[in-house]
């Protein structure tokens, strides 16, 4: 008696693709939430605890002051740094809602597609805001420096370009999903 692979590997024994999608989507939704909380917490700790000379060095300011910067300067700098990070966190929370919809089986639903679009837009906006926030931070941090030691540092890196390409890719995928949903709706009207 010969047995084929199909005899032993019934579809009941193997998880279906939709089961795998639901399971991974639940993990991704949790990951988006945890990442959002960790990013916000890390930003608070960074601006509260990092020594002044390190802050200035990372902001591209060559001449840090001899004394530590005050709490009001740190609070203002934190607020500026939170603009791109807050935008990214908003995007992660949109991604979380998208993954929650996937986990609930609403893969090609308008809700999940809209949340995916919102994620893409937030990632792109965050990538564009990050260099501007960095420039604003350099001005705020060097505001109390001696005349001639004030700094405006604008930094553009490959991470900005990669984030924009990633956001564009996700946006196109959401757009394709919208088209597929509309085609499916049209086909259902003919049946």
Domain residue limits at 32: 16-190
> Which pLDDT score, from 0 to 100, does residue 3 have?
43
Tell me whether residue 53 is in a domain: yes
DSSP labels, the chain: ----HHHHS-TTTSPPHHHHHHHHHHHHHHHHHHHHHHHHHHHHHHHHHS-HHHHHHHTT-S---SSPPPHHHHHHHHHHHHHHHHHHHHHHHHHHHHHHHHHTT-TTSHHHHHHHHHHHHHHHHHHHHHHHHHHHHHHHHTTTSPTT---------HHHHHHHHHHHHHHHHHHHHHHHHHHHHHHHHH-
The answer to whether the CB of 99 falls within 8 A of the CB of 29 is yes
> Which pLDDT score, from 0 to 100, does residue 29 have?
97
Count how many domains the chain has: 1
Tell me whether residue 8 is in a domain: no
> Which pLDDT score, from 0 to 100, does residue 14 have?
56
> Which pLDDT score, from 0 to 100, does residue 190 have?
76
> Which pLDDT score, from 0 to 100, does residue 60 have?
80
Tell me whether residue 57 is in a domain: yes
> Which pLDDT score, from 0 to 100, does residue 150 have?
63
111 Cβ contact list (under 8 Å, min separation 6): 97, 101
> Which pLDDT score, from 0 to 100, does residue 164 have?
94
Q: What is the pTM of this model?
A: 0.82
Q: What angle do CA 188, 189, 191 make, to 5 degrees?
A: 65
Tell me whether residue 54 is in a domain: yes
> Which pLDDT score, from 0 to 100, does residue 2 have?
44
Tell me whether residue 7 is in a domain: no
> Which pLDDT score, from 0 to 100, does residue 6 have?
43
Residue numbers of the chain with a pLDDT score lower than 50: 1-11, 13
């Amino acid at each position: 008696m010969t047995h084929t692979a199909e005899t032993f590997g019934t579809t009941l024994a193997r998880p279906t693709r939709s089961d795998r999608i639901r399971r991974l989507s639940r993990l991704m939704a949790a990951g988006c939430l945890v990442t959002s909380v960790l990013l916000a917490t890390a930003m608070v700790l960074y601006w509260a605890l990092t020594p002044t000379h390190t802050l200035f060095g990372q902001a591209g300011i060559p001449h840090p002051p001899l004394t530590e910067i005050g709490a009001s300067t740190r609070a203002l700098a934190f607020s500026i740094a939170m603009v791109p990070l807050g935008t990214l966190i908003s995007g992660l929370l949109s991604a979380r809602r998208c993954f929650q919809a996937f986990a609930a089986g609403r893969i090609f639903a308008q809700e999940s597609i809209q949340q995916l679009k919102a994620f893409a837009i937030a990632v792109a906006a965050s990538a564009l805001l990050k260099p501007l926030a960095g420039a604003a931070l350099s001005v705020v941090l060097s505001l109390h420096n001696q005349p001639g030691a004030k700094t405006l540092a604008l930094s553009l890196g490959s991470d900005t370009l990669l984030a924009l390409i990633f956001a564009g890719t996700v946006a196109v995928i959401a757009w394709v999903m919208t088209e597929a949903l509309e085609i499916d709706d049209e086909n259902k009207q003919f049946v």
